[in-house]
């Protein structure tokens, strides 16, 4: 068990600054170190023994090898991801992922804020799946307190979480098509996504960062117009999915660009800790809503779509199918929802104690929250697990032998959110 | 693979591409979903929240706030500053009440913490300005915020655009 806060604070050094750790570096030295790191990274690529998978020996003879930085400000890296690529012509022979450009100290901040205040903070960890992050954190705190959320709140939580999955997948669908050069699907996906955000706005007041879940319940009930909009949104999505299929899924050019590209085997996916659609695309039917049912997911019937080959196309198909399943879950929850209180009876001042790990199935995969509480108003430590972090690791080997244009498809299909990676 | 397969493949490809073009065509012919902001605005919904505003008690025409500091404690980013004082009847009231909109993250925790219902989330979202100091709102500004009429799920025209519908 953790000691009290005092014990963790490092002793102050002679100049009043904490000793070790945070001592400030001379900027010149830091710059020199950065240049040296860069030089070594480049050298490592030069010496890397990985041969290109599809040997283009004859064609690339005489082509000079080249180290190319992709990102951190590259439109297809979905944020600030930097990839160091070793190229032979257009072909990638090695790649190295560099992350950390969006580090925002979330885990440390959590140690300074009270449990209620952390709820809007975890929203910002994966800002495209804010509800899923909230859900995870709230479950962890409820576990420590032994609080059971009210029945109606559970249904509203499931509706909000599935709505979040849909809008997150819609955003991914649009940007993924955009990565592959198709602008039109992006516009259509955003049209539907706006309807989804209208639903969010009408029941919790915000469009992206909700702060909707409360310990023991949710912030407020749906209004009549929120239900109306929810139904309209479900219908709109159900109507536009065939459009997406006609426009993108069945498009021969799209298929040619995604099939057999970025193949992740089942073993690799498991070894690298991939979860969510990336794992399911390799044929593993692992979904936390089934495998480790939390909230009230055991009451709904839905299918877990899986892929066969684990390539970019399978990841695409799994996500699109998940939208359909989520619509079905929302409709079931809408049908069965009981009346009652939604705020719950959790006290305002809470001081939980103990350790807990809770996980939920976010749109991108397993979101985990390891919470250590020592009986004070604030968590002693919170370790967050984001799915995108594990997925990005596969970029160390997935693009090998592929072309730069394929790499864009591979990154898009992993659906990374950089804030979820760096936190 | 003979000529026959090649022809079939090409035809299939053309059909599938044609279907995709059909979707585009269908969407090209329907009315736009976009709104010409700022001439037209989407109505915000009932719960839409932007920043905390002070509520004036209609009976007494005074602020409901009693400077109890519950909202200050609840705010995660410490963007509320209050100095309490007592009036002639020795009732507490906020002498100064500042909210820094450039810090506020619209979480509404202050509103929930207020035991006197003296705060309400205002739905005004047009906060852009040329100086960040303009975003520090004082007591009078926070009390004077007019909440627009609630017209859910419709589009309304901006109030300053009187006259015939030109768009
Ligand atoms: S809405 Fe949140 S951030 Fe803004 S003043 Fe209230 S508590 Fe603070
Ligand atoms: S919690 Fe309410 S009454 Fe107390 S200081 Fe804040 S606004 Fe005023």
CATH code, A179: 1.10.645.10
Is A317 part of any domain? yes
Query: Pick the residue with more confidence: A11 or B140?
Result: B140
pLDDT at A8: 44
pLDDT tens for each residue of A202-237: 888 888 888 888 888 888 888 888 888 899 899 889
- Give the pLDDT band of residue A42 (cuts 50, 70, 90): low
Q: Is residue A1 part of a domain?
A: no
Structure-block tokens of residue A53? 């998978």
Q: Are A132 and A161 in contact (CB under 8 A)?
A: yes
- Prediction pTM value: 0.81
Answer yes or no: is A82 within a domain: no
Would you state the pLDDT for residue A11?
Answer: 47
A206 and B106: CB-CB below 8 Å? yes
Least CB–CB distance from B45: residue in A219, A225, A248:
A225
Region A397-416: mean pLDDT is 84
Cα A115 to chain centroid distance, Å, stands at 22
Closest CA to A150 of A54, A242, A215: A215
Strands B62-63 and B80-86: unpaired
Determine the distance in angstroms separating the CA of B20 from the nearest CA of chain A, rounded to an integer: 4
Give me the sign of the Cα torsion angle A347, A348, A349, A352: positive
pLDDT attached to residue A136: 92
Q: B63 and B143 in contact (C-beta within 8 Å)?
A: yes
Residue A131: band (very low, low, confident or very high) from pLDDT cuts 50, 70, 90: very high
In this prediction, residue B70 carries a pLDDT of 86
Predicted confidence (pLDDT) per residue in A317-373, tens digit? 899 999 999 999 999 998 888 888 888 777 777 888 889 999 999 899 899 999 998
Report the 3 state secondary structure along chain A: CCCCHHHHCCCECCCCCECCCCCCCCHHHHHHHHHHHHHHHHHHHHHCCCCCCCCCHHHHCCCCEEEEEECCCCHHHCCCCEEEEEEECCEEEEEEEECCCCCCCHHHHHCCCCHHHHHHHHHCCCCCCHHHHHHHHHHHHHHHHCCCCCHHHHHHHHHHHHHHHHHHHHHHHHHHHHHCCCCHHHHHHHHHHHHHHHHHHHHHCCCCCCCCEECCEECCCCCHHHHHHHHHHHHHHHHHHHHHHHHHHCCHHHHHHHCCCCCCCHHHHHHCCCCHHHHHCCCCCCCHHHHCCCCCHHHCCCCCCCCCCCCHHHHHHHHHHHHHHHHHHHHHHHHHCCCCCCCCCCCCCCCCEEEEEEEEECCCCEEEEEEEEECCCCEEEEEEECHHHHHHHHHHCCCCCCEHHHHHHHHHHHCCCHHHHHC
pLDDT at B1: 56
- Tell me what pLDDT residue B157 has: 40
Evaluate if residue A48 carries a pLDDT over 70. no
Residue A250 pLDDT: 81
Which residue of B66, B69, B94 sits with most ligand 2 atoms within 8 Å of its CB, as the best mutation to test the pocket? Answer: B66
Reported as a pLDDT band with limits 50, 70 and 90, residue A168 is: very high
Q: Percent of chain A beyond pLDDT 90?
A: 13
Domains held by chain A: number: 1
Distance B87 CA to ligand 2 centre (A): 16
Q: What percent of chain A has pLDDT over 70?
A: 87
Between CA A420 and CA B96, with CA A113 as vertex, the angle to 5 degrees is 120
Q: What distance in Å separates residue A87's CA from the closest CA in chain B?
A: 33
Among A121, A211, A228, whose Cβ lies nearest the Cβ of B108?
A211
Asked if residue A355 belongs to a domain, the reply is yes
Q: What is the pLDDT of residue A165?
A: 92
Task: Identify the domain containing residue A379 by its residue range.
Answer: 106-421
Give chain A's mean pLDDT: 82
In this complex, the residue of A201, A205, A243 whose CB is nearest that of residue B23 is A243
Taking contacts as CB-CB distances below 8 angstroms, the residues of chain A near B19 are: 246, 250
Q: What's the pLDDT score for residue B147? A: 55
**Residue B156: per-residue pLDDT:** 41
Mean pLDDT by 10 residues, chain B (167 residues): 77 81 81 79 79 82 84 88 84 85 86 84 80 82 64 39 39
What local confidence, expressed as pLDDT, does residue A166 receive? 93
Question: Has residue A21 been placed in a domain?
Answer: no
Range A296-316 average pLDDT: 88
**Ligand 1 probe mutation, B49, B53, B65, B75, most atoms within 8 A of CB:** B75
pLDDT > 50? residue A69: yes
How far apart, in whole angstroms, are the C-alpha atoms of residue A95 and residue A100? Answer: 17
pLDDT in tens, A240-257: 888 888 888 888 888 888
Domain B51-158 fold is Alpha-Beta Plaits (3.30.70)
Rounded Cα gap, residues A80 and A211, in angstroms:
25
- Domain annotation covers residue A408: yes
B94 lines ligand 1 (CB under 6 A): no
Bridging pattern class, strands A366-374 and B51-54: unpaired
Confidence of residue A12 (pLDDT cuts 50, 70, 90): very low
């Amino acid at each position: 068990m953790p000691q009290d806060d005092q014990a963790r604070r490092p002793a102050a050094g002679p100049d009043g600054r904490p000793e070790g750790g945070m001592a400030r570096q001379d900027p010149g030295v830091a710059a020199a170190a950065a240049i040296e790191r860069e030089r070594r990274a480049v050298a490592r690529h030069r010496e890397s023994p990985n041969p290109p998978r599809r040997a283009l020996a004859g064609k690339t003879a005489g082509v000079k090898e080249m180290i190319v930085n992709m990102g951190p400000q590259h439109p297809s890296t979905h944020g600030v991801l930097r990839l160091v690529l070793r190229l032979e012509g257009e072909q990638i022979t090695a790649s190295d992922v560099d992350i950390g450009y969006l580090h925002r100290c979330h885990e440390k901040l959590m140690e300074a804020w009270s449990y209620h205040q952390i709820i809007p903070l975890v929203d910002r960890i994966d800002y495209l799946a804010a509800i899923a992050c909230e859900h995870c954190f709230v479950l962890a705190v409820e576990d420590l307190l032994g609080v059971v959320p009210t029945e109606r709140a559970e249904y509203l939580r499931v509706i909000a979480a599935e709505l979040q999955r849909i809008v997150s997948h819609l955003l991914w669908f649009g940007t993924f098509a955009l990565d592959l050069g198709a602008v039109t699907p992006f516009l259509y996906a955003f049209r539907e996504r706006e309807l989804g955000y209208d639903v969010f706005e009408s029941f919790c007041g915000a469009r992206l960062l909700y702060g909707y879940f409360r310990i023991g319940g949710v912030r407020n009930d749906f209004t009549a117009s929120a239900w109306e909009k929810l139904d309209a949104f479900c219908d709109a999505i159900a109507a536009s999915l065939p459009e997406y299929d006609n426009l993108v899924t069945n498009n021969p050019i799209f298929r040619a660009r995604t099939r057999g590209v970025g193949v992740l085997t089942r073993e690799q996916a498991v070894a690298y800790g991939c979860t969510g659609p990336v794992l399911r695309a390799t044929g593993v039917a692992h979904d936390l809503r089934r495998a480790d049912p939390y909230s009230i997911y055991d009451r709904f019937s839905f299918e877990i779509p899986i892929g066969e080959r684990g390539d970019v196309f399978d990841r695409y198909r799994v996500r699109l199918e998940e939208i359909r399943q989520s619509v079905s879950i929302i409709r079931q929850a809408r049908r069965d929802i009981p009346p009652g209180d939604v705020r719950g009876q959790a006290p305002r001042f809470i001081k939980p104690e103990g350790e807990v790990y809770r996980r939920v199935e976010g749109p991108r995969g397993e979101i985990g929250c390891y919470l250590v509480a020592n009986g004070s108003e604030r968590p002693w430590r919170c370790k967050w697990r984001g799915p995108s972090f594990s997925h990005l690791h596969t970029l160390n080997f997935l693009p090998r032998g592929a072309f730069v244009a394929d790499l864009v498809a591979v990154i898009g299909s992993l659906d990374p959110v950089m804030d979820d990676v760096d936190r | 693979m003979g000529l026959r397969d090649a022809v079939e493949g090409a035809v299939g490809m053309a059909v599938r591409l044609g279907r995709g073009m059909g979707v585009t065509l269908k969407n090209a012919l329907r009315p736009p979903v976009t709104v010409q902001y700022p001439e037209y605005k989407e109505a915000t919904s009932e719960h839409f929240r932007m920043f905390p505003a002070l509520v004036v008690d209609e009976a007494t025409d005074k602020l409901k706030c009693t400077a109890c500091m519950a909202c200050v404690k609840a705010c995660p980013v410490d963007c509320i500053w209050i100095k309490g004082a007592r009036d002639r009847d020795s009732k507490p009231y906020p002498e100064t009440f500042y909210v820094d909109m450039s810090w506020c993250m619209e979480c509404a925790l202050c509103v929930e913490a207020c035991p006197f219902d003296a705060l309400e989330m205002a739905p005004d979202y047009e906060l852009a300005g040329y100086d960040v100091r303009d975003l520090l709102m004082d007591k009078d500004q926070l009390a004077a915020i007019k909440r627009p009429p609630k017209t859910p799920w419709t589009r309304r025209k901006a109030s300053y655009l009187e006259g015939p519908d030109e768009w």
